[in-house]
Structure 1
Amino acid sequence: MTSQSARPWRDLTDPRRASTTDDLEAGLKEPEFENLSIPEDLGTVPVVVDDHKIKRFAFTQDDHSPWHLESSPFGGQRVGHAALLGNDLVQLFTRVYAASKVVGYHTEEQMWFDSPAVLDEVVTLSGTYTEAYQRRGEGYVVMEARATGEDGRSVVRHRGVEILKTNPGAIGGRGSARPERRVSGTVPDDARVVDTVDAGVRVGDALAPLHKTVTAEQAAVFSRVGEYVRNIHNDIDLARAGGLRVPIVQGQQQFGVLAQLLTLRFGAPFLTSGWLRVKFLAPLEVFEPFVSTGVVTEVTEVDDGLRVEAEVWVRRVSDGRLMTAGWASATVPAS
């Protein structure tokens, strides 16, 4: 591991520079569709997975698993949560574009989980804008990014789609991100509810649900308030300027909840063979209770075990509305 004195900061930017820098976003481009240059290199940045980063994520997700805070099945080491680096990858573009001027809308997220990041490891993040297009009057941009461990191994890979600048209050829930393979978001009445996906898994099994409420404090910390970034997730004035009544939970934060659900149900294999792709269908306000779950759709024998596929989703408790929907898979031992 890199020595303490030489370690980089834990985030994309070091907020301590505010003591000597007036404009933290000086030289960055306006986040406008017309300013995109495809393909566009979003840079490479080292990030240390330190104790604070892990504990902070545990707070924002309300995920205090001993794997992250004490020891894990990976040689007894403390490891980062499956989606710990997800928002760092999503936000890589803010090293080129002014983060506090972004009023975007994350429409799709996809991650491949290849290996867990270990406590005090320095991971390298890199990303590129690979595609841009317009649909229904909105400008979309596609990012592909990855996190690489100190030994060169892949930790996670990311592909995301975002409307770069919009009015989230106007577009949220209008169906622009409807999945092409529709996820029903319902559990059959006769489904077997399972806490653990193992060799006995069957098509139709329902994943034991995970109930959550993301507070304004959790959303603000997740959405980089500690780096002095202001956005519709951590600032009520910016949320209202974007047509919202209160801040909304970042789509990537909901993605992290689904990754937690899948880690709980699949166990360690999810951190080494997992895949999760979701579409964000409607904004979720802070303080709104929601529940995440899923249903197993396919079980296939592969060389190293059973490849289990599932539909997963997030529903708002108050009215049952489907907020996020998608697909997941991982390989579990066959015995």
Structure 2
Amino acid sequence: MTAPERPWRDLVDPRRAVEVDDLEAGLKEPEFEQLEIPEQLGPATVVVDDHKIKRFAFTQDDHHPWHLEASPFGGRRVGHAALLGNDLVQLFTTVYAASRVVGLHTEEQLWFDSPAFLDEQVVLEGTYTEAYERRGQGYVVMEATATGEDGRSILRHRGVEILRTRPGDVAGRGSAAPAADQRRVTGEVPEGAPAFDPAAPAAGQVLPVLPKTITVEQAAVFSRVGEYVRNVHNDLALAREGGMRVPFVQGQQQFGVLAELLTRQLGAGFLAGGWMRVKFLKTVDVHEPIEAGGIVTAVADGRVELDIWVRRADGGLSAAGWASAPLPASETE
């Protein structure tokens, strides 16, 4: 008997294109009117293989040794904290045609419960739980999970997206507001603020800035060009049809930059107990320099709480949010 073929590393196995003409045949049109609430998305199984980890390292320019050599988790290689984040965001494309999506991610929230290990098979599943209209745009809320082979939770996700829009018409509004119980994040750092000290975190300490420049190649790979998906992040013509001059970086890719910053500063506890909630305020063009930053707002009950942000080349914020994690341990790098 022939052994069942191993699951692929992504939501779509591009090898199907050898025999299949339309890789999105039978999928729904990604329009607000097509939504069903609640609507099941997935499940899908992906493999966290060597290629998936190294590809993410390329797209994020994040070559931390925990992902490529050995980690504090029993010496095993683990995926980046946000490695599976885009798989969860894109889980709706198991039901809706990915290459006809012209959406805009407006908010992302992830709970990092445990790392994903090299060669682990992970089950992704989610649900569209809510839909509403605001300022002429149709929004949809997804809740999703990534579960390891042993049944443990790896990630829990809650995201908000404008399902279909013209990005150039809404991308610069920058009007996202904090929840009633959270502060507005300004990205302002008081003059003379102390640098973050992992050994003795304290309110007011500032994380070192993490600079990045996401190239068109990195954005294209992150945004599923390897699965033959075309969108405003990996295709110049589609970006211009959407009112943008060039492709722009996915909000989820910026989220990954922030997750790298927190992994490097807060250590292994961030991958097994961290949390981030980020609102995407303005777009970032490919090749546009950005800087991820953060400031500690409180240390209480064994956790560090922070305001976090991504600053664009023009000085404005493209993303802003909140994070927390267990107090860093000695293995922090």
TM-score (norm 1): 0.95
Instruction: State the distance in 2 between where 1:234 and 1:19 align.
Output: 22
Structure 1 position 182, deviation (Å): 1.2
- SS of aligned partner of 1:206: coil
By how many angstroms is 1:176 displaced?
4.2
List per-residue Cα deviations over 1:161-193 (Å, max 9, x = no partner): 000000111101213433343101111111111
Q: RMSD in angstroms over aligned alpha carbons?
A: 1.4
2:89 is matched with: 90
Gaps of 5+ in 2: none
**SS at the partner of 2:186?**
coil
Q: C-alpha distance in 2, partners of 1:334/1:152? A: 26
2:305 is the counterpart of 1:309: yes
How far apart are 1:5 and its partner, in Å?
6.2
Partner SS state of residue 193, structure 1: coil
Q: Does 2:326 match 1:324? A: no
> What is the distance in 2 between the residues matched to 1:308 and 1:220?
34
1:120 aligns with 2:115: no
Matches within 5 A, 1:3-152: 6-152=5-151
Give the secondary structure class of the aligned counterpart of 1:330.
strand
Q: Which residue of 2 aligns with 1:282?
A: 282
For residue 56 of structure 1, give the secondary structure of its aligned residue in structure 2.
Answer: helix
Find the aligned partners of 1:260 and 1:124 in 2 and give their Cα distance: 23
In 2, are the aligned partners of 1:178 and 1:281 still within 8 Å (CA)? no
Contact 2:267 2:329 in 1 (8 A): no
CA offset at residue 71 of structure 1? 0.4
Listed one character per residue, the Cα deviations across residues 254-304 of structure 1 (whole Å, up to 9, x for unaligned) are 000000000000000000010000000000000000101100001103xxx
Percent identity over paired residues: 71
Q: Deviations over 1:289-326 (max 9, x none)?
A: 0101100001103xxxx211000000013x21111000
Residue ranges of structure 1 left out of the alignment (5+ in a row): none
TM-score (norm 2): 0.96
Is this contact kept in 1: 2:114–2:154, CA < 8 A?
Answer: yes
Residues matched between the structures, number: 326
**Does residue 197 of the first structure (1) align with residue 198 of the second (2)?**
yes
State the shift of 1:197 in Å.
2.7
Distance 1:32 1:298 in 2: 42
What CA distance in whole angstroms lies between the structure 1 residues aligned with 2:173 and 2:148? 39
Structure 1 residue 334, shift from structure 2 partner: 8.2
What SS does the aligned partner of 1:239 have?
A: helix
- Work out the CA distance in 2 between the residues paired with 1:72 and 1:56: 18
Aligned partners of 2:214 and 2:329: how far apart in 1?
Answer: 36
In structure 1, what is the Cα distance between the partners aligned to 2:263 and 2:198? Answer: 10
Q: Are the counterparts in 2 of residues 49 and 80 from structure 1 also a CA contact under 8 Å?
A: yes
Partners of 1:34 and 1:5 in 2: CA distance = 38
